[in-house]
Amino acid sequence: MDVAVRKLNLENLTQEGIPKDFADVQDYFNEALRKNSLPWIPRKTPITDKEILEKWVPSQNINLSLVAESEGKVVGLSTVLYDPKSNDYEFANQRKSGELNSTIDPNQDYIFVQTKLLEGIISELKIQNKTAHCYLPIESPANEAFKNLRKIGNIGFLESYKTGNLSGKVQRYDLP
């Protein structure tokens, strides 16, 4: 599998006026919600065009985002949310500035793509002399990608990760 990690392209727009990079994420994420193929993700609401246009795009001058692309299509997105309310996540009011959020197309090699994105985020954080943190539910396969690079923190509990089949137990990782 060939995966390239890069910065967002906000200029290549769909007919709806949404950056294609974000439209790709919207497509695979909303499909995964319908199929329940990302059960470790606490967000259970679909990504809307309005959310992308009114929150995602304008916040890119504050947030740090990278995408993973394979065969011309975005298959993963990682964003350090320095503006924690820059999306319509149900629990956005519980986020702190600097929280890393990632989503990977469940039809891809999840750990491989997450590892590539994480390497890119860590590199960019070092270049920008910034830090970030991430909470992952213990049920998430992404923990494997984080453990391969750097494991920090202890298992704690977050109410937002006690939805559906999630236990609420999380691992915190501090980056870089």
pLDDT higher than 80, residue 148: no
Answer whether residue 126 is part of any domain. Answer: yes
Rounded to whole angstroms, the Cα distance separating 117 from 127 reads: 15
Q: pTM of whole model > 0.85?
A: yes
Q: How confident is the model at residue 30 (pLDDT cuts 50, 70, 90)?
A: very high
pLDDT higher than 70, residue 6: yes
Answer whether residue 156 is part of any domain. Answer: no
The edge-to-edge listing of strands for the beta sheet with 169-175 is 4-7, 64-70, 73-81, 99-104, 132-137, 169-175, 155-157
SS3 (DSSP) at 15: coil
Predicted pLDDT of residue 42: 82
Cis peptide before 58 (omega within 30 of 0): no
Predicted pLDDT of residue 164: 63
pLDDT (average), residues 155-164: 61
Distances (CA, A) of 86 to 76, 80, 133: 18, 11, 17
Which range has the worst mean pLDDT, 48-57, 63-72, 135-144?
A: 135-144
Spacing of C-alpha 138 from chain mean position = 16
Mean pLDDT of the residues in the chain: 89
Answer whether residue 147 is part of any domain. Answer: no
Contact (Cβ atoms closer than 8 angstroms) between residue 142 and residue 94: no
Answer whether residue 100 is part of any domain. Answer: yes
Total tally of structural domains belonging to the chain: 1
Span 92-118, pLDDT tens digits: 777 889 999 999 999 999 999 999 999
CATH number at residue 8: 3.40.630.30
Looking at per-residue pLDDT, the higher value among 174 and 78 belongs to: 78
pLDDT higher than 70, residue 162: no
Answer whether residue 165 is part of any domain. Answer: no
Cβ atoms within 10 A of the Cβ of 54, count?
13
Domain of 17? Answer: 4-130
